[in-house]
Structure 1
Amino acid sequence: MQKYDYIIIGAGSAGCAVARRLSDDPAVRVLLLEAGPPANEFWIRTPAGMAKLFKNKRYNWGYFTEPVPTLHDRRVYFPRGKALGGSGAINGMVYVRGNSRDFDQWRDLGNQGWGWDDVLPYFKRLENYGALASPLLGNNGPLTVSEPVVKHPTAVDFIEAARRIGVPHVEMPNGTEPESVGFLPASIRDGIRQSAYDSYIAPVRSRPNLVVESDVHVRRVILENGQATGVEVLQGGQVRTIGAGREVVISAGALNSPQVLMLSGIGDGEALHAHAIETLVDLPGVGKNLQDHFVARVQARSTPESSYNRALAGWRKYAEGARYVATKSGYLALASSMAAAFVRSSPEAEYADLEISFRPMTFTHHPNGKVDIDDIDAVSASVYNTRPASRGEVRLRSRDPLEAPAFVPNFLAEPADVRAMISGLRKIRAILASQPLAARVLEELTPGPAADTDDQLLDYLRREGNCAFHPAGSCKMGNDPMAVVDERLRVRGVKRLRVADASIMPTVTAGNTNAPSIMIGEKAADLIRADAKKI
């Protein structure tokens, strides 16, 4: 049997950070396992290629939720990365830390060492803002963070319009602002996507003490006498066992980490018994507390010069492609959103609980997975409810590790979430109606001027709203009966087993979740190394 000191399950945003930092010590052997393939195709490296990856079966698990009663029983699409780099290989590349108050809340819930002052050094350690760095931003880390290479005049006007209705403008968000508007930083380096694999693992792939294996599906963690001793995997149609001399770290993401735990006999005993899985550790919180940012779009017809839809249609898209190949610049080098406003849904909110992302273009997702730029001049803005009150769960469908779990998101189950989203739609309208952006907007397309009352807007949310692809919280950190890991990310009731990814968030951060996921990986590696010294 092969044996390593550390086995990390999942080469996503957190897992890559854990593996890199642990392998910095040449005295330990680290194995990083990924169920998906290498991610080195042109459209993965090209930022605009995210549209082609939205339903790509090779690099995307392509999950769907269970029917959601509050959304007219729709099954909501849940894309998740299945490649070296995880969801960071297919996401929109927006880099947002979250708000400092998010992490102080984690600390106040009993998770010592996770307040803003505690996690800020880890954010700075992972970041490379280069010349954009400030005392609160890092400039020596593995992950390049950059501004948009194109700052479209319409996005400039969006920022000014938001400022005129009271949202403070910031040049570069750092996570401490109660509200803000500005251009969005992104994990893009010289016009090329930077996943955690690209930035953390690829530069050190030749290390003799770091082994990376792709196309390996972990069936379960092996537990012996109350501690993790290895993993059982399926590779090339063969089942094999790999030993871990020190620890196993699960970094499979908020949708798959609870599945790995449950398949290993760790979870709610009654639920495991229903699938004929022996309960080795009864942890009722595994899979519970699932959160995601709910999102809805407002689209508006614009004056021709206000949208770059035309630049990506017809013969012009080939010219734009040639521009990208030659210069790694232009519209194909942009992240999913160009600018964003972080605003309160009501005066009672302590800090921003809505993210309004803006782009001077529009697109349509077709059922077959194809994404087309619309053939009209139009702009769009999306509102995310970043601090949802609703909670869902991840459930096993069967004991077959190749069968996807059942996802029950419970979107809009809480009245507070409904109020926040309706407020968000109205705030988008207020920004679109504010100068100088108002001069560019001709008419609202969706939800359309006919949707004016709260009931009409709620109906639109139920028909058209979706997840923001930011699942979190399903293996939450804490010290209450539903906590899965403690403040050192150790799975309760098991030795030598941790979880390190967005699933450990007690509450999801108020913004895109890739950056805090990498931070969690950075901090997890320090916790693991510190505990190893005590043995």
Structure 2
Amino acid sequence: MTSSTETFDYVVVGSGSAGGIVASRLSASSKYSVVCLEAGARGSGYIWTKIPATVSFMIDDPRVNWCYKSDASTGPANRALNIPRGKILGGTSAINGMTWVRGQHEDYDHWAQIGNLGWAFQDVLPFFKKIESYPVGDPKLRGHVGPIRVTSGQKITPFYDLFLETARVAGIPGNRDYNGADQEGATIAQAASYKGVRESTANRYLDPATRHNNLEIKKGAEATRLLFEAGRCIGVLYMQGSHERKVLARNEVVVCGGAVNSPKLLEHSGIGDAERLYDLGIDVISHLPGVGENLSDHFTPTMKYQITQSGQSASELMHGWRKYREVLRYVLFRRGFLAQSFGAMRAFFRTREDLTRPDGLMVIAPFMVENFEGGRKISKVPGASFFTHVLRPETRGSIHVTSPDPKQPPAIRERFLETENDKLGAIACFKKVRQLTETNPIASILGAELQPGRQVESDDEILQFILETGQTTYHPVGTCKMGQDRDAVVDERLRVHGVHGLRVADASIMPTITSGNTGLPCMMIGEKCAHMIIEDRERNA
């Protein structure tokens, strides 16, 4: 039984990378009342979300994470993979690695070329700039006064400079700003971090927006079903504790649950493939067979190398007496290992000379991580970890509900390396790491290849290693894709096909994955969505 009903102009489902921005921007005008429903109960004050290096503490913490797992039957080498998604104010922007990557200009030009007018790079650039404050970038391409303050990582050991010089020798040029004119090159990563503290949509958009008396944020409010009347979405049913509540929208509902939870909510609400929904006993509102399809993600193996020269690996900073020094350094100065985002070194590269833009990414951490029962820890063995993957994989998976009960997790069928291009690209990326590690000056300080080991040599052996050990990089996108074709779920203004008063704005609307981390592109989608909503409303007023 529904215990209460409230009405607002706009209902935003999800407070994450896109949703937090949509709610904040819509409430910036006193014209509209806005409610934001966040399933997580914790806010921006949660200690582990503030410290950059404590990301690993939240990877499988059910207090702030949905802790989804993929279906082993379709996974690489029949393995289930962890699919962490933020369940906290700020969503995944509050638990991710904070790496600041737009992707390549061509990613967005491609979206426009396949029918999504208004999504070419020059169209989305103003929204990217609106988000960020990065004072050293080219003002034609970078924002200087946005809410999210962006900084480059610190070189906490000499290994950073060794990597940059080695990349240059190996044919990968340096690049001061991979979010500028060109992505290609080796660099120190930019991060959504300022003075050693995470910048998320929670603390940089929503916390300031709560000063608006027209925005209400409901935490611990899990959306279970969208409500419809005469072909129009009129509100949302949600659970808050043991109470079922209803919130109505005078104007629109905006679903920002992410690539997993947005298709889940749509299907539970009767939007999806009609036959699949009928079989589950869910009444069909709109037959959209593309809901939950087109799942894309990045997939990477971890290659580990011993470091033989003292002072090069960050592992040494986090053991013995040095660990306490690092804690003190962070507490007093917000610097050092704890102030670093994960994988602060990276290289965008081409796996073949005939390519016109990078198709591979290498991420380097100057330490190794060991798994143990109940968690993860930094290895005492001085070493470095290399992660590498193709930037634009072709293989697609799916996400679908398996029960009419919204409490049940969906079936996440991640698929990787099923096309010839994906296989060849993954092998080429692996070999690029080997080429780099065999090049001086970095080769002079590296010892054994600890994982996978030099016994893995042939292409078949390399591919098998990747399939048996690789992990998703936590970049799921595409499950409510934007477009006009049969499998599209939303149009170029993010309106759900076949119904009125409903939009989706998050990673799920990407028709193809962007070239790199997906958190920042999701923020751009949130900014653009809020702009379009206000534009459409004022045009029709």
Report the TM-score when normalising by structure 1: 0.98
Pairing 1:366–2:372 present = yes
Q: Using the TM superposition, give the Cα deviation of residue 196 of structure 1 relative to its aligned residue in structure 2, in angstroms.
A: 1.3
Which residue identity is paired with 1:318?
Y
> Counterparts of 1:449-460 in structure 2 under 5 Å?
449-460=454-465
Between 290-299 and 124-133, the greater mean CA deviation after superposition: 124-133
Q: Deviations over 1:373-400 (max 9, x none)?
A: 0011101110122200000100112111
* Match of residue 504 from structure 1: 509
Q: Deviations over 1:327-350 (max 9, x none)?
A: 111100000111110112223433
Task: Call closer, same or farther: CA 1:206–1:70 in 2, change over 3 Å.
Answer: closer
Q: In the alignment, is the contact (CA less than 8 A) between 2:74 and 2:414 conserved in 1?
A: no
Q: Using the TM superposition, give the Cα deviation of residue 266 of structure 1 relative to its aligned residue in structure 2, in angstroms.
A: 0.4
Counterpart among 483, 492, 496 of residue 491 in structure 1: 496
Q: Give the match's secondary structure for 2:35.
A: strand
Task: Call closer, same or farther: CA 1:260–1:348 in 2, change over 3 Å.
Answer: farther
Q: In the alignment, is the contact (CA less than 8 A) between 2:105 and 2:121 conserved in 1?
A: yes
* Match of residue 350 from structure 1: 356
Q: In the alignment, is the contact (CA less than 8 A) between 2:141 and 2:180 conserved in 1?
A: no
* Match of residue 277 from structure 1: 282
* Match of residue 17 from structure 2: 13
* Match of residue 163 from structure 1: 168
Please give the alpha-carbon distance, in whole angstroms, between the structure 2 residues aligned to 1:170 and 1:178. 8
> Counterparts of 1:195-210 in structure 2 under 5 Å?
195-210=200-215
Counterpart among 473, 481, 500 of residue 476 in structure 1: 481
Q: Give the match's secondary structure for 1:309.
A: helix
* Match of residue 74 from structure 1: 79
Report the RMSD for the aligned CA atoms in angstroms.
1.3
Q: Give the match's secondary structure for 1:371.
A: strand
Please give the alpha-carbon distance, in whole angstroms, between the structure 2 residues aligned to 1:350 and 1:394. 33
Q: Give the match's secondary structure for 1:449.
A: coil
Q: In the alignment, is the contact (CA less than 8 A) between 2:128 and 2:143 conserved in 1?
A: yes
* Match of residue 406 from structure 2: 401
Q: In the alignment, is the contact (CA less than 8 A) between 2:178 and 2:184 conserved in 1?
A: no
Counterpart among 311, 320, 332 of residue 305 in structure 1: 311
Counterpart among 520, 534, 539 of residue 534 in structure 1: 539
Please give the alpha-carbon distance, in whole angstroms, between the structure 2 residues aligned to 1:86 and 1:434. 41
Q: In the alignment, is the contact (CA less than 8 A) between 1:70 and 1:413 conserved in 2?
A: no
* Match of residue 519 from structure 1: 524
Pairing 1:181–2:194 present = no
Unaligned 5+ residue runs, structure 1?
none
Please give the alpha-carbon distance, in whole angstroms, between the structure 1 residues aligned to 2:389 and 2:131. 25
Please give the alpha-carbon distance, in whole angstroms, between the structure 1 residues aligned to 2:212 and 2:112. 36
Task: Call closer, same or farther: CA 1:69–1:395 in 2, change over 3 Å.
Answer: closer
Q: Using the TM superposition, give the Cα deviation of residue 358 of structure 1 relative to its aligned residue in structure 2, in angstroms.
A: 1.0
Please give the alpha-carbon distance, in whole angstroms, between the structure 2 residues aligned to 1:496 and 1:256. 19
Please give the alpha-carbon distance, in whole angstroms, between the structure 2 residues aligned to 1:300 and 1:324. 28
Please give the alpha-carbon distance, in whole angstroms, between the structure 1 residues aligned to 2:479 and 2:439. 40
Task: Call closer, same or farther: CA 1:175–1:505 in 2, change over 3 Å.
Answer: farther
Q: In the alignment, is the contact (CA less than 8 A) between 1:68 and 1:411 conserved in 2?
A: no
Pairing 1:341–2:347 present = yes
Q: Using the TM superposition, give the Cα deviation of residue 462 of structure 1 relative to its aligned residue in structure 2, in angstroms.
A: 1.4
Q: Using the TM superposition, give the Cα deviation of residue 248 of structure 1 relative to its aligned residue in structure 2, in angstroms.
A: 0.3
Q: In the alignment, is the contact (CA less than 8 A) between 1:61 and 1:81 conserved in 2?
A: yes
> Counterparts of 1:136-175 in structure 2 under 5 Å?
136-175=141-180
Q: Using the TM superposition, give the Cα deviation of residue 222 of structure 1 relative to its aligned residue in structure 2, in angstroms.
A: 0.5
Q: Deviations over 1:296-333 (max 9, x none)?
A: 11110002221010111233212211211111111000
Between 278-287 and 377-386, the greater mean CA deviation after superposition: 377-386
Between 195-204 and 11-20, the greater mean CA deviation after superposition: 195-204
Please give the alpha-carbon distance, in whole angstroms, between the structure 1 residues aligned to 2:208 and 2:515. 31
Please give the alpha-carbon distance, in whole angstroms, between the structure 2 residues aligned to 1:21 and 1:399. 34
Task: Call closer, same or farther: CA 1:497–1:69 in 2, change over 3 Å.
Answer: closer
Please give the alpha-carbon distance, in whole angstroms, between the structure 2 residues aligned to 1:97 and 1:417. 22
* Match of residue 324 from structure 2: 318
Counterpart among 110, 113, 116 of residue 111 in structure 1: 116
Between 434-443 and 510-519, the greater mean CA deviation after superposition: 434-443
Q: In the alignment, is the contact (CA less than 8 A) between 1:155 and 1:358 conserved in 2?
A: no
Pairing 1:330–2:301 present = no
Q: Give the match's secondary structure for 1:304.
A: coil
Q: Using the TM superposition, give the Cα deviation of residue 115 of structure 1 relative to its aligned residue in structure 2, in angstroms.
A: 0.3
* Match of residue 380 from structure 1: 385
Q: Deviations over 1:509-535 (max 9, x none)?
A: 000000000000000001101111132
Q: Using the TM superposition, give the Cα deviation of residue 134 of structure 1 relative to its aligned residue in structure 2, in angstroms.
A: 3.7
* Match of residue 57 from structure 1: 62
Please give the alpha-carbon distance, in whole angstroms, between the structure 1 residues aligned to 2:172 and 2:385. 19
Q: Deviations over 1:17-45 (max 9, x none)?
A: 11111111111001111001223222211
Task: Call closer, same or farther: CA 1:69–1:227 in 2, change over 3 Å.
Answer: closer
* Match of residue 221 from structure 1: 226
Q: Using the TM superposition, give the Cα deviation of residue 178 of structure 1 relative to its aligned residue in structure 2, in angstroms.
A: 5.4
